[in-house]
């Protein structure tokens, strides 16, 4: 049947979304260095250059990857005080970024202007406005929280393991006591503050203490 063979040829074997989702899977699993156009194409069972029929280049593919990741954001149920809601929203955003480190990396290169990602921004901004912040203060408070969330994932993503905690403690105690008295003094506590969920919560609460105190002032 030549007719049906012809129409089959006109139907692309893949969609942009399928390619982007597969790329996201690879990035989630193997990390941000793990994706190349060649490797992704091989993964999908197509020639490398086939991908360039779907995307102008890797940058455009990564935009679509961020869109695919954005679908996976899990907004918390709006329960509790505004402050509890912001805490829950920050935690949800952190968890989302930990699942999809490519989003953090991509945001480090340039601001993300994608409708799907803007929905996540919208949710937090709305909580701040609903809390009674005026738009200028809401914008500033939003950015401070944004930096805290992205900064935590980029620079303090997880707790130290017991092994790492011991090593960090020991490493700090090897420092000269005349030159590093402060680092030596906090050595037993450094691992607790290295990163992870508790340290993240601590930072969120600090910011909210101050945002709350300034509210309506």
For a second copy, the binding residues (CB under 8 A) are 107-108, 111, 113, 115, 118-119, 121-122, 125-126, 128-129, 135-136, 138-144, 146-148, 150-152, 154-156, 171, 175, 179-183, 185-186, 188-190, 192-195, 199, 202-203, 205-207, 209-211, 213-214
Question: Whose CA is closest to 121, among 136, 105, 134, 138?
Answer: 138
Residues 36-95 that bind DNA (CB under 7 A): 36-39, 46-50, 52-53, 57-59
Binder among 1, 2, 9, 174 for DNA (CB under 7 A): 9
User: CB neighbours of 119 closer than 8 A, spacing ≥ 6?
Assistant: 70, 73
Cα–Cα distance, 181 to 189 (Å, whole number) = 14
Query: Which residues, other chains included, contact 175 with Cβ-Cβ below 8 Å and sequence gap of 6+?
Result: 183, 184
Q: Minimum distance between the CB of residue 206 and a second copy, rounded to whole angstroms?
A: 4
- State the binding partner of 196 from a second copy, DNA, none, CB within 5 to 8 A by kind: none
- How many other CB atoms are there within 10 angstroms of residue 3's CB atom? 7
* Site for DNA contains 10 (CB under 7 A): yes
Complex with a second copy: residue 52 or 180, whichever CB lies closer: 180
Number of helices and strands in the chain (H, E): 11, 0
């Amino acid at each position: 049947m030549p007719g049906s063979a012809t129409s089959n040829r006109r139907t692309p074997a893949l969609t942009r979304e399928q390619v982007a989702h597969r790329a996201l899977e690879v990035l989630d699993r193997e990390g941000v260095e793990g994706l190349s156009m060649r490797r992704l194409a091989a993964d999908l069972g197509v020639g490398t250059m086939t991908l360039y029929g779907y995307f102008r280049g890797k940058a455009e593919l990564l935009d679509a990857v961020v869109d695919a990741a954005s679908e996976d954001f899990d907004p918390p149920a709006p329960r509790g005080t505004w402050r509890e809601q912001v805490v829950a929203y920050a935690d949800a955003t952190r968890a989302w970024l930990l699942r999809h480190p490519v989003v953090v990396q991509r945001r480090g290169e340039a601001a993300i202007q994608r409708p799907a990602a803007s929905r996540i921004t919208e949710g937090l901004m709305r909580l701040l406005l609903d809390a009674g912040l005026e738009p200028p203060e809401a914008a500033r408070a939003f950015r401070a929280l944004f930096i805290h969330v992205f900064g935590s994932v980029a620079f303090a993503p997880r707790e130290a393991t017991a092994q790492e905690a011991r090593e960090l403690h020991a490493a700090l105690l090897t420092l000269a006591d005349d030159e590093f008295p402060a680092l030596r003094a906090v050595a037993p506590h450094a691992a607790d503050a290295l990163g992870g969920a508790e340290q993240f919560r601590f930072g969120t609460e600090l910011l909210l203490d101050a945002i709350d105190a300034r509210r309506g002032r």
